[in-house]
Structure formats: structure tokens, C-alpha cells
Amino acid sequence: MIENLPCGFFIAQAQEPYRLLYANDEMLRLFDCRDFGEFCRHIEQDVRNIISVNDRTRVEREIDHEIQAKNDRFEHVRSHLFTRESRIRYADISGHLVGTEEFGPVFYCTLQEIDIPQPGQMVDRDIRDYVVGHLDEAVANRWIQVYYQPVIRTLTGELCGMEALARWVDPHVGFLSPAAFIPVLEQVRLIYRLDSFVLEEACRMMRQRFDEGLSVTPVSVNLSRCDFDLMDVCQVIEQIRQRYSLPRDFLHVEITESTLGQDSAAVHQTIDRLREKGYEVWLDDFGSGYSSLNILKDYNIDLIKLDMGFLRSFTVESRSIVTAVIAMAKELGIKTLAEGVETKEHADFLASIGCGRQQGYFYGKPQPIGGTLTHIESEGRGVEPRKWCHYYDVASMFIRQTDRAYALFDRSEDGHVHCLYANKTYGEQIHELGYQLQDIEKNLKRQEKEGIVRTFWAYVDRSRKSGQMETYFYVDGGDYVNIALQVVCEMNQHLLIYVEIQNLSQSDAGRRQSKLDENLRYLYAMFEDVYLIHIRQDRMERLYAHTSFSLPSLKEKTQGFRQTVRYIAQNYVYEDDRERYLAFFDVDTIVGRIRQSASARISCRFRIRDRHGNYNWRECAVVLLSNGQDPAVMMAARMVEQRAALPETQHTAGSGLPELLWRNFCRNTPFCYFWKDRQRRFLGATKAFLKHYGFESEQVIIGKTDEDLNWHVDNDLYRLDEIDVLRTGRVVENVPGECVVKGGLHHITCYKWPLYQGGQIIGLLGVFFDADDMYRGFGQDRPSPYEDPVTRLRNRQGFLGALLSYHEAYTVQHQPFSLILLESRSDDLLKESYEPMLLRALVCEEARCLREIAGKDSVIARIKEFDFAILRRENQPQESERMARRIQEKLQGIHQVGGTPVTITFRYSVVHADDPDIRKAVRRNATHLYRLAMRRLHSGGPGTKETNGK
């Protein structure tokens, strides 16, 4: 009788282990199973697996509620089901809870398939089955195609990206809407195959265009929330990108707000991994859910795609919401893109509030790549070159809704000036002064830099050096005008200049100015220097300076208040007062200390060097001018007349004089002196010695020998000399040698003599002179013929000389060493994309990373444009292998240079002086070792982890 039921019927345990006890034939048919055993294997012996994972929590909650309310019965609970052949079905389930002696409580249930899908997913069951059954065929036959919708840069109107979208054009059922097949693939957990296909097709398209010399623009690809459960997203993206040798900044990853709203640890970790590798992660459909602000708080996002559903009605309220979201994103440093832009009114509004990019049918519908690019060309739009992406991103960040009058100007190397953006208030301000925007551009382009134009460019140069906002005033036709400007980006021989203008004669601030000047006169009479310091902005403005006492211009040497404090402490403050000076001007605590002071001010006295080289006591006083989130303080300094009352240490001609002389000698001598104990361990060194090697303090060397520091090519040369000095008292003079200094091999000459106490030798004192530094000094700072002028590492000639020295020390004295070669795989596309200035900055950053890891005990050379060699003495072969891996990871971790995205790939090889392949060679010379390293490098030898990427 049960077998003849027109619906599915099953019996299962209602408690652990939830075993299926019985299922009729209709159940087997519904789940595409041939027998009961196959059905049990499909649900893994657990009846709960009949219900889809996405519905399970809800279904269990509904059943529990109905059983309690309806005397152990439940009715019409609906859920998705997944069959053995990955079909998706929808069913109505009813049941009765019954107690048994053998199995305990069990469910007797009926299951009826129905054709009512979930709300919002009106997909016919036959279509669902067709999608699941023909996915592989559709991919193989290219029925699924990738369409591209253009993304437009608001500032320039150029194409700056595209979104890759899947479209299913089927020869049998026609065009399938994404709303028909994407939810199905998510439900049966096959969406990862579609997303991987779209990613690969986008990469294939870009690689093909690169190879054909055509323009390429970045592409964003969408990921489903299921992808994070079904595959290692970061690994899949990296593998596909490497397969097509693409830079990471050409691939952006879009994730929906609902995906992040799940607060999954796996999703969070994957996003962090993607960003660490240099990918941008975009938040799609921002504002469409209920957790948008929490997502921005909990996740690091590069760009938000604003859901333009806000602007469907285009009311005052909707515009205010969009404006607030754009402003909030910029405060967080997040880039913005509005999708769904349909009208010119939408586009103009988004431009006025500084939305960085736009996408929508107003600019073009999704089409195959050829159609999209043809449409862009027909509209007269260009394709944004890769090197300009960061420049315009920075410009977009500075466009805000504000009452201040401001504009953004672009200046090229040839002097051409173009206004990228000017707000309405700026136009009104310059109109009051009798100018149009074209007049401003024309005046700034003038070759003869006179009057206010010369002043403008002089302050632009000051801002370039300081990195801060610079302010000046001038009179124009009787109006008192205030200009505040800042160079906010400099790249590709262009300057991006942010300019604010205020006609003080026409403003309330102008009418207050004269009264303020009167009130500050007494302050100027009492102090020699008066500064206004903006704590949060790390910016300082000089309000007043007495020419007789002021320090030299700091704007040319420092950037921001923090750096200014460190610069003054290092170069002008008496050494014994430096710690107090830095503590007094500690930016993190200064506001709190002022607030806690009973007098609402703090002050302290320090000895500061004047222009004659003398240290004079000066008092610095600081008061709080404005509170709140952006506090500002005023600092005033004056010379103190009554020196006798100050706690200065008095030195006499007695026993304190030798100590005073010694301290001044160690601090001020330009020569590199050092002293050691009888075991040749360092006891100390002069400041010049520490500076020469790049050490912060003596603690780095105290208690260590030269062998511990591993900085000599030939350890025995100086070791034997020092032993002779300590044992026989012999004075060593003018002994040449080679020493590693900050990653370079320097030629030095040493002098050493014994130290006596009570007639006994207790240690030695020594000094060395660096021949390479002396050469540069005599040659007016020209680089050594063995030094790379860009990185100051050794060049190819210097490397070969160092290799011969290391090899000779190994051959004669058996001092083991290794050679590490590092080869960049990123050169060609970098050269095509970026200007030489950025490439130099990149190679300097790579050199900095090499010095950081290997500079203390290794010789580092730049042997080709982006290729390096490292020579190091080693005790264990594993040391060099570990160092090579660390260096590779460090270099490949460079994802930006000056804000511009780069993708760096290095491979390495390591050869040891006692390598078996060298012992087999007939001629075991240094050249053979180098050739062996090159051969291993190009044959995919050890360390070749990645061979693609730009």
C-alpha cells in the first residue's frame, strides 16, 4: 500500500544518528537513486541531508515549532532537495513523531514535489534541470559567453575598467537570463565552475590583447558566496593569473554585501590574503542590505560599488544619502563606483559629489569584448593607460562636497596646466576677482613667472618638498586673497595640485583678521618663533619668526610636524636634552598633557644650537587652541636670559675634563674608531663608526667579534693581526681589506694598537678609513666605478671583484661562502606601462628590501636592470637557502610603489662554494660558480616558485 502512494514516503530516526530506516520507490525516483543503498550513500546515512544545506536550519526550526504546537505532528514544511545527479527539486514535507522500542523516536514522513520555487526565484523546474544537466556542455561549446560592461573614469570620461558578466546563449532554449541560471548553480553548489570559467576567459582575453599590442583595461570578476566554501578562492585566482602572466592590478575581485554579511572566518581570511597579494577587493551592491556599515568596519575593502537604486526617484533625500555614502567612503580611504547610471542627470550629479567611477547603461550595456570596445570608440572615449590609474584615484579622493572654494590642477613637465575639477564656489570666488577659469589656466601657463604667478609656483615647490599644505596671501586689485595649496600627487612628470582660494576682504574671516593681528602683537614681542600645529593632519604653519634667532628653513628638509621634531632633535638639540625634547613634543600625548595642566599650558627648556654653533637655553611653551577631533596647538619659543638658574652641569679642569673630552671625541670625531677587549670583542665605537655601518646604537656590536658580525671577506686577515696586537703589543698600520657595509663591499684600510692599563695589555684600539667613501669625496661625490649609481649597491664589475675575493678566501683559507642569484620575471610589461622614474623607484625599493634582509653580512649587487646577486659567508648551507626564500617573499610582497600598483615575480638559485657540481669541474674558478648559478636559474632550479607575473 505504501509503495502505491503518489508521493514520497520515508521513516527515519528522530535523534542521533538520524539513520534512514525506509524509503519508498517514489523517494528513490525523486532523488535519482536506483535502490535504497544508493539513496543511503547519497545522503551519507543521515536523513537531515535530504534537506538542502541552505534550508536546513530553517526547516529544523519550523519542524520543532510545529511538533510542540500540534501534538508531535508537522505539516507543509517546504525545502529544496538535491538529487544524486545534482538536480534541484522543491518539496512539501509533512510528518508524525512516533515512539518505538527498537529505534526510539522516529519520524513517519510524506514528501510531495511541488512547482513553487522560493520567492524571487521564479525558475521553471525544467529550466533548472536543463541548466544543471548542460552546464559542462555549455562551457565546452561556448554557449556561456563573457560579456563586458564599461566602467568610466568620472574625471576624464575615459574607459578605466570593465565588469565581466556571464551570459548563456543556448542553441536549444535561446537566451537564458542570469536570474535563471545563476541561482540554480548556487543552489546545487556548482557556481564555482561558472565563476572560474568567467575568470579564465577574462584573463585569456587580456593576455591575447597584450600579445597583439592592443590596449588593455582592468577587469572585475564576481564571486559567489558559495565559492568560498567550494574552493580555495585565492589559490584559484593566483593560478589562473599566473597561467596568463597578468599583473594583479588588472584583476579586481567583486564580492556581494550578502557574502560578507555572513561574517565567515573563511571569507575574512580569503579577503585578507587577496589584498596581501596585491588584488583589489570590491564590495558589490553596497547599500542593498542591512549590514553595510558593519562590513566597512570589519573588512578591508578597496572600493564600494554603490547600488544606484537610491537614485531611482532622484529626490533630495536620495541624493543626500548618496552624497553621505561617497563622503564616508573617502574618509575611510575607500574608492567609489556607482553602478546602474542611466541618465545624464545621474552622471552629472555623481561627478559633482566626487564619485570616482561610473557604470551603467548610460555608458554602455554589457556586450562581447569587441562590441564594448567599438561602442567606447564610437563615443570618442579613450582607454586609460595603466600608469594613470593611481593619479586619477588620488584626484577623485580630493573632490568633496564642501563650502570651501577649491580646484584641482594638473601640470605637465612642459608647463601645460589644465584644471581637472573646480567646484561651484571656486568659480564664484574667482569671478568676484574678475577671472574666469580659462584665465587662471592661461596665467599659470605663462613662461614669464612674475608677480603672483611666480609666488604660486614657488609655493608649489615648497609643497613638493614638505608634502604639506602651504599657505600664502597676496593683494589683487585691493582684495586680500588667501591661497592654500598642496601637491597631492607627483608621477609621470605631472603634478596634481589641490588649491583653495578665499577672498578675505569679502569674508567674515577677513573682518576678524585685523582684530586678531592686534591681539597677537604682544605674543610676537615676547617670542622668537611662533608655530600653529595641526595634530591630526601632522602639519605645522609658521606664524612668526624673528630672523635673528630662527632655525634654518625646515620646510626643505622635513615633512610634517613629527618629522620636524625628529630633525631638530637630531641636528640642533644638545645631546643630553634630546630625550626630554622628544618626550615634550610627543604628538600622541601633548594634547592630554595640556588638558591636565592647571595653567592650560605646558613648557620646558632645552639647549638648542644657534647658527654660530653655540648651544643656548630656549624655553618652549605650548597651548591648546582648538579641541575636538582635529585639535590644534600653538607653540612659541624664546631664548632664556638667566642661564645661572638652569640645571646645567658644570665641568671643571679637574677629574671631569678627561671624561668630557672623551665624550665629545666619541660624539663628534668624523673617524671610525673602535675598541675591543682581550678576546677581540667589541667594547664600543665612535658615533661615526656606528653611522658608517647603519647601526642605531653600540648594543648591536658590544660583546661580538668580527666573525660574529660576519662582515669581512677574509676573516683571517684581521683576526691574525688583532691576535698579534694583543699578544705582542705590535702596532698594525695601513692594512688593506674588504668589508661589507650596508650590502656593499667596501675597500678599507685599518690601524690598530694595544691598550695598556698598569703596564698590561687589556685590549686594543683601532680606526679604519673607507677608500670608496674617500674616492667619492675626492671625486665630488661621483659614484665609485664599482657602484651602481641608482641603488648604491655594487654594480656588475664590483660584483665580479667581490666574487673573486670570496673565491680566493675559500680556495686559500677554506672559508665557505654562497652565491644567490635573483632574476626578475616582470621587466617587459613594467617598462611598457610605467615611466623611467617609477621604475627607478621600484628598483630602489627592491634594493632597500635586500639591504634589510642581507645588508649586514652580505655583498649585494645589481647585475642587470632588475636582477641581483648576493655573496655571503655561511656556516650552514641551509642559511643561504632560507635567506633566498625570505628575499623572494619580501620582493614579491611589493605591490605598490608610490601608490602605483605593481606585480613583482622573482626566481632564485643558490650555489655553494663546495657544491658537488663544482668539485666535478675541471676548472674550479669563480666564473664556473657564477655560470652554474645562471644555469640552475634558467633551468628551473631550486627556488623557482613562480615564473609568471608582471
Secondary structure (H, E, C), 390-410: HHHHHHHHCCCCCCCCEEEEE
pLDDT (tens digit, 9 = 90+) per residue, 742-777? 887 888 899 999 998 877 889 999 999 988 777 666
- Residue 304's contacts (CB-CB under 8 Å, 6 or more residues apart) are 282, 283, 286, 296, 325, 329, 334, 335, 336, 337
* DSSP secondary structure string for all residues of 594-624: HHH-TTSEEEEEEEEE-TTS-EEEEEEEEEE
Co-location of 465 and 493 in the same domain: yes
Q: What is the mean pLDDT of residues 389-406?
A: 92
Read off the pLDDT of residues 851-870 as tens digits, 9 standing for 90 and up: 999 888 889 999 988 899 99
Which residues lie below 8 Å from residue 19, measured CB to CB, with a gap of 6+? 12, 13, 45, 46, 47, 103
Report yes or no on 789 lying in a domain: no
Look at residue 497 and tell me whether its pLDDT is greater than 80: yes
How many domains does the chain divide into? 6
Task: Based on the fold, state whether residues 672 and 773 are members of the same structural domain.
Answer: yes
Q: Is residue 652's pLDDT more than 50?
A: no
Helices (H), strands (E): how many in the chain? 33, 35
pLDDT bracket for residue 261 (50, 70, 90): low
At residue 122, the pLDDT reads 40
Which pLDDT score, from 0 to 100, does residue 262 have?
A: 62
pLDDT given at position 643 = 46
Q: How confident is the model at residue 446 (pLDDT cuts 50, 70, 90)?
A: confident
Question: Would you say residue 786 lies in a domain?
Answer: no
Give the pLDDT confidence score for residue 120 in this predicted structure: 42
Which range among 160-169, 221-230, 807-816 has the greatest average pLDDT? 160-169
In a domain, 645, yes or no: no
Element (DSSP H or E) covering residue 118? none
Q: Which residue, 639, 673, 706, sits at the end of a domain?
A: 639
> Average pLDDT, stretch 357-366?
93
230 and 174 assigned to the same domain: yes
Same domain, 190 and 274: yes
| Of the candidate ranges 79-83, 587-591, 879-883, the one whose mean pLDDT is the lowest | 79-83
Mean pLDDT for the stretch of residues 136-161: 94
DSSP 328-355: HHHHTT-EEEEE---SHHHHHHHHHTT-
Q: Within this chain, do residues 41 and 104 fall inside the same structural domain, yes or no?
A: yes
The mean per-residue pLDDT over the stretch 588-604 comes to: 86
Is pLDDT above 70 for 625?
yes
**CB under 8 Å to 515, separation ≥6 — which residues?**
none
650: in domain: no
Confidence check: pLDDT of 946 > 50: no
Residues 427-448: what's their mean pLDDT? 85
| CATH code (residue 872) | 3.30.70.270
- How long, in residues, is the chain? 950
Same domain, 209 and 344: yes
The residue to which cell 589656466 is assigned: 441
How high is the pLDDT of residue 272?
A: 92
The more confidently predicted of residues 73 and 638 is 73
Quote the pLDDT of residue 743: 81
Pair (311, 178) in one structural domain = yes
Residue at 185 is within a domain: yes
pLDDT at 890: 93
Amino acid, res. 443: N
pLDDT of residue 452: 79
Q: Within a 10 A sphere around the Cβ of 5, how many other Cβ atoms? A: 14
Res 379 pLDDT > 90: yes
Given a cut of 60, is residue 646 above it in pLDDT?
Answer: no
pLDDT at 410: 94
- Looking at the predicted structure, is the pLDDT value of residue 2 above 90? no
* High-pLDDT (> 90) share of the chain, %: 37
pLDDT at residue 647 greater than cutoff 50:
no
For residue 452, the enclosing domain spans 402-507
Among 297, 340, 305, CA closest to 326:
305
pLDDT higher than threshold 90 for residue 422: yes
CA nearest to 667, candidates 777, 570, 770: 570
pLDDT at 76: 87
Q: What Cα–Cα distance (Å) separates residue 798 from each residue in 426, 744, 787, 819? A: 57, 9, 6, 14
CATH number assigned to the domain comprising residue 528: 3.30.450.20
Selected residue with higher pLDDT from 431 and 296: 431
In this predicted structure, the answer to whether residue 550 has a pLDDT above a threshold of 60 is no
359 and 381 together in one domain:
yes
Q: Are the C-beta atoms of residues 765 and 752 closer than 8 Å to each other?
A: yes
Cβ neighbours of residue 898 closer than 8 Å, sequence gap 6 or more: 390, 491, 838, 841
Sheet holding 494-503, edge to edge: 417-422, 406-412, 494-503, 479-491, 470-476
Nearest to 804 by CA among 749, 876, 711, 738: 738
Instruction: Kindly report each contact of residues 54-59 with a partner whose C-beta sits within 8 Å and lies 24 or more positions away, as own/partner.
Output: 54/80, 54/187, 55/79, 55/80, 59/93
Same domain, 252 and 304: yes
The pLDDT-based confidence of 702 (bands split at 50, 70, 90) is very high
Does any domain span residue 278? yes
In the chain, % of residues over pLDDT 70:
86
Q: What is the pLDDT of residue 558?
A: 46
Q: Could you tell me if 181 and 304 lie in one domain?
A: yes
Q: What is the pLDDT of residues 526-548, one digit of tens each?
A: 677 778 888 888 887 776 665 44
Q: For 302-306, 558-562, 945-949, which range has the lowest pLDDT when averaged over its residues?
A: 945-949
pTM over 0.75: no
Pick the range with the lowest mean pLDDT from 92-106, 271-285, 693-707, 924-938: 924-938
Please write the tens of the pLDDT for every residue from 272-289: 999 999 999 999 888 765
Same-domain status, 88 and 212 = no
Q: Are 114 and 98 in contact (CB under 8 A)?
A: no
Report pLDDT for 557: 43
Please state which of the ranges 527-536, 831-840, 919-928 shows the lowest mean pLDDT.
919-928
Q: Do 542 and 530 touch, CB atoms closer than 8 A?
A: yes
Nearest to 148 by CA among 158, 159, 137: 159
Provide the pLDDT confidence category of residue 132 given band limits of 50, 70 and 90.
confident
pLDDT of residue 659: 78
| Mean pLDDT (whole number) for 456-471 | 88
Instruction: Provide the pairing of β-strand 494-503 with 479-491.
Output: antiparallel
Give the DSSP letter string of 123-146.
--HHHHHHHHHHHHHHHHTT-EEE
Mean pLDDT of 130-135: 88
- CB distance 501 to 509 below 8 Å: no
Q: Indicate whether 33 belongs to any domain.
A: yes
Rounded Cα distance between 178 and 484, Å, is: 51
Can you tell me the distance from the alpha carbon of 599 to that of 335, in angstroms, rounded to the nearest whole number?
45
pLDDT band, very low/low/confident/very high, at 584 (cuts 50, 70, 90) = very high
User: Does residue 949 belong to any structural domain of this protein?
Assistant: no
- For the ranges 398-412, 433-447, 750-764, the lowest mean pLDDT is seen at 433-447
Higher-confidence residue of 442 and 384: namely 384
List pLDDT tens digits, range 782-806.
667 888 889 989 899 888 888 888 8
- For residue 726, pLDDT over 80 is answered with yes
pLDDT score of 707: 87
User: Do residues 385 and 256 both lie within one domain?
Assistant: yes
Instruction: Quickly state the pLDDT bin for 121 (edges 50, 70, 90).
Output: very low
pLDDT at 544: 65
